């Protein structure tokens, strides 16, 4: 079979203790039997491990943080495109998605295809809107309050029993057992991610996740449920296993069907001892553990690229149950020249 | 008592619950008993098999069997119907 040659640009090459999904997305794309992928790595920092991994990226470019302005980020991508002719771009950070969604049309006109949720889909699943989201789509979610100031923490005492979860808008979550811990977590989260800070009822149970892909018309193209077997101090999965949980799959299919979700997503759920599922978060992108889905039979990155290119993708129903991933750390020895090149030239 | 169909039992005593992702290790007797339960043997059949094969008295077997059954229920390896139904 002759493979279709494409150039894929990917962000999120930060395979650190809080890993971005870039490297597993590239691995999935390279596993494709239909696509021959040339990879352009887009990095924010000059020590993102993906820069130094052999046989991963063909070119690397540094791009400016979206916080310094969406326009600057998009212009840099367009500049790279003039040089490299990007066919598909997969952004992998929550914080950059807004910029890429906002300029989706402009990028498409230049020939850079993406496959992202709409702004409405993106915004309605934000953490501070979760109760409304749960009600709208008939999903159980933990009760929560959005705090605009520290004084409002007093409301928590009358509404929830401890422990509670204190969460940032984009990242970070702390389990707090008393008001002192809650105040500390509030300051930590607010200084990093701004306001509102979200206080969420703590739901006791097992944390389970689904990685899924919606085609934008209500069809679930792929969905694989997983249970975290090993969780780091930052709450990241360092090991996980695929599950045979039809309830989780049904919940995913219903949500994608009702929201007409477009793109990759991760559902974070708590399964209680009475087998109820509480949706605690929706990540609007492919998660860092996506290679488990690839390894168990559903190549989500490949399917997403094909959808972005307008190719037909049939829904994938099967996956291997009981497949595991175990992450590891590994010291690469790299030459200073590579570090110098990305630091000074902003490209390799 | 019925073992859930999502439970995979290996001959080396490794038990995997595909519904929850949990796994367990059984000793040889535990493995023998769970296999009999999975094959729908009733309590009397299991008791006879174990008493014939091993040097154990009826009372000790019954006590250990109920404890084992409770554990299987606790870890959600069985269909949760009647809580008083041990076999």
> Min CA distance, B56 vs chain A (Å)?
36
Mark which of A154, A171, A201 sits at the end of a domain: A201
| Residue A303 confidence (pLDDT) | 97
Q: What CATH number does residue A66 fall under?
A: 3.40.50.20
> Min CA distance, A310 vs chain B (Å)?
35
In chain B, where the domains are located: 7-74
CA dihedral over A235, A238, A244, A248, signed as positive or negative = positive
Q: Which of A160-169, A322-331, B8-17, B33-42 is predicted with the least confidence, judged by mean pLDDT?
A: A160-169
Inspect the interface and report whether the beta carbons of B19 and A322 lie closer than 8 Å: no
Q: What is the DSSP letter of A279?
A: E
Q: Which of residues 211-230 of A touch B (CB under 8 A)?
A: 226-227, 229
pLDDT above 70 for B82: no
**Predicted confidence pLDDT, tens digits, chain A (348 residues):** 789 999 999 999 999 888 899 999 999 999 999 999 999 999 999 999 999 999 999 999 999 998 888 999 999 999 999 999 999 999 998 889 999 999 999 999 999 999 999 999 999 998 888 999 999 999 999 988 888 888 888 777 678 888 999 998 877 888 899 888 989 999 999 888 888 899 988 998 888 999 999 999 999 999 999 999 998 887 788 999 999 999 999 999 999 999 999 999 999 999 998 889 999 999 999 999 999 999 999 999 999 999 999 999 999 999 999 999 999 999 999 999 999 999 988 889
Q: What CATH number does residue A147 fall under?
A: 3.30.1490.20
pLDDT confidence tier of residue B55, bands split at 50, 70 and 90: very high
| Residue B84 confidence (pLDDT) | 53
**CA B55, CA B63: separation in Å to the nearest integer?**
15
| Tens digit of each residue's pLDDT (9 = 90 or more) over A200-253 | 889 988 889 999 999 999 999 999 999 999 988 877 889 999 999 999 999 999
Phi, then psi, of A115 in degrees rounded to 5: -140, 80
Q: Are residues A18 and A94 in the same domain?
A: yes
In a domain, A127, yes or no: no
Count CB neighbours of A153 within 10 A.
Answer: 20
8 Å CB contact between A28 and A47: no
- Convert A307-333 to b/e letters by CB count within 10 Å (16 or more is b): bbeeeebeebeebebebebebeeeeee
Inspect the interface and report whether the beta carbons of B20 and A206 lie closer than 8 Å: yes
8 Å CB contact between A342 and A57: no
Quickly list H helices, A162-289.
179-193, 246-259
Inspect the interface and report whether the beta carbons of A243 and B16 lie closer than 8 Å: no
- A277 in contact with chain B, both atoms CB, cutoff 8 A: no
CA dihedral over B52, B54, B58, B62, signed as positive or negative = negative
Domain hosting residue A172, numbered range: 143-201
**CA A161, CA A274: separation in Å to the nearest integer?**
20
Q: Find chain A residues with C-beta within 8 A of B8's C-beta.
A: 322
**CA A208, CA A324: separation in Å to the nearest integer?**
14
Inspect the interface and report whether the beta carbons of A243 and B19 lie closer than 8 Å: yes
Q: Are residues A17 and A73 in the same domain?
A: yes
Given the DSSP bridges, would you call strands B14-17 and A197-201 parallel, antiparallel or unpaired? unpaired
In a domain, A301, yes or no: no
Q: How many domains does chain A have?
A: 2
Q: Are residues A22 and A82 in the same domain?
A: yes
Q: Are residues A153 and A105 in the same domain?
A: no
Q: Which of residues 185-214 of A touch B (CB under 8 A)?
A: 206, 208
Q: HSE (CB half, 13 Å, CA atoms) of A80?
A: 30
Mark which of A152, A180, A201 sits at the end of a domain: A201
Taking Cα atoms as reference points, which of B24, B77, B21 lies closest to residue A230?
B21
- B18 in contact with chain A, both atoms CB, cutoff 8 A: yes
DSSP string computed for A82-117: HHH--SEEE---HHHHHHHHHTHHHHHHHT-B----
Measured between CA atoms, the residue of chain A closest to residue B74 is: A273
Mark which of A201, A218, A250 sits at the end of a domain: A201
- A244 in contact with chain B, both atoms CB, cutoff 8 A: yes
In a domain, A196, yes or no: yes
Q: Are residues A92 and A150 in the same domain?
A: no
């Amino acid at each position: 079979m002759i493979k279709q040659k494409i150039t894929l640009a990917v962000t999120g090459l930060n395979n650190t203790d809080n890993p971005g999904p870039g490297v597993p997305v590239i691995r999935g794309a390279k596993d494709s039997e239909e696509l021959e992928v040339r990879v352009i790595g887009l990095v924010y920092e000059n020590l993102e491990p993906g820069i130094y991994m052999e046989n991963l990226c063909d070119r690397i470019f540094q791009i400016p943080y979206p916080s310094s302005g969406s326009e600057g980020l998009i212009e840099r991508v367009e500049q790279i495109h003039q040089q490299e002719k990007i066919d598909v771009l997969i952004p992998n950070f929550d914080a950059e998605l807004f910029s890429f969604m906002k300029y989706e049309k402009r990028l498409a006109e230049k020939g850079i295809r993406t496959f992202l949720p709409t702004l409405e889909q993106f915004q309605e699943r934000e953490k501070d809107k979760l109760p409304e989201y749960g009600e709208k789509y008939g999903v159980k979610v933990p009760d929560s309050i959005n705090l605009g100031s520290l004084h409002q923490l007093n409301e928590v005492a009358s509404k929830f029993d401890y422990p509670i979860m204190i969460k940032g808008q984009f990242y970070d979550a702390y389990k707090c057992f008393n008001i002192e811990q809650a105040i500390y977590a509030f300051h930590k989260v607010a200084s990093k991610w701004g306001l509102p800070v979200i206080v969420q009822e703590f739901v006791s149970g097992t944390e389970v996740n689904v990685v899924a892909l919606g085609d934008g018309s209500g069809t679930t193209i792929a969905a694989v449920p997983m249970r975290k077997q090993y969780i780091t101090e930052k709450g990241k999965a360092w090991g996980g296993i695929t599950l045979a949980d039809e309830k989780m799959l049904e919940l995913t299919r219903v949500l994608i069907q009702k929201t007409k979700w477009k793109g990759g997503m991760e559902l974070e759920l708590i399964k209680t001892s009475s087998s109820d599922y509480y949706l605690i978060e929706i990540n609007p992108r492919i998660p860092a553990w996506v290679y488990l889905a690839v390894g168990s039979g559903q190549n989500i990155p490949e399917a997403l690229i094909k959808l972005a290119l307008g190719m037909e993708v049939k829904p994938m129903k099967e996956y291997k149950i009981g497949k595991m991933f175990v992450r590891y750390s590994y010291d690469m020895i790299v030459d200073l020249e590579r570090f110098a090149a990305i630091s000074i030239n902003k490209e390799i | 008592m019925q073992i859930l169909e999502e439970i995979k039992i290996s001959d080396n005593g490794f038990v995997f619950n595909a519904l929850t992702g949990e796994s367990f290790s059984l000793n040889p007797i535990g493995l023998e008993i769970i296999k009999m339960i999975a094959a729908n043997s009733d309590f009397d059949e299991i008791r006879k098999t174990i008493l014939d094969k091993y040097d154990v008295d009826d009372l000790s077997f019954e006590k250990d069997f109920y404890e084992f059954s409770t554990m299987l229920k606790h870890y959600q390896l069985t269909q949760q119907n009647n809580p008083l139904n041990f076999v």
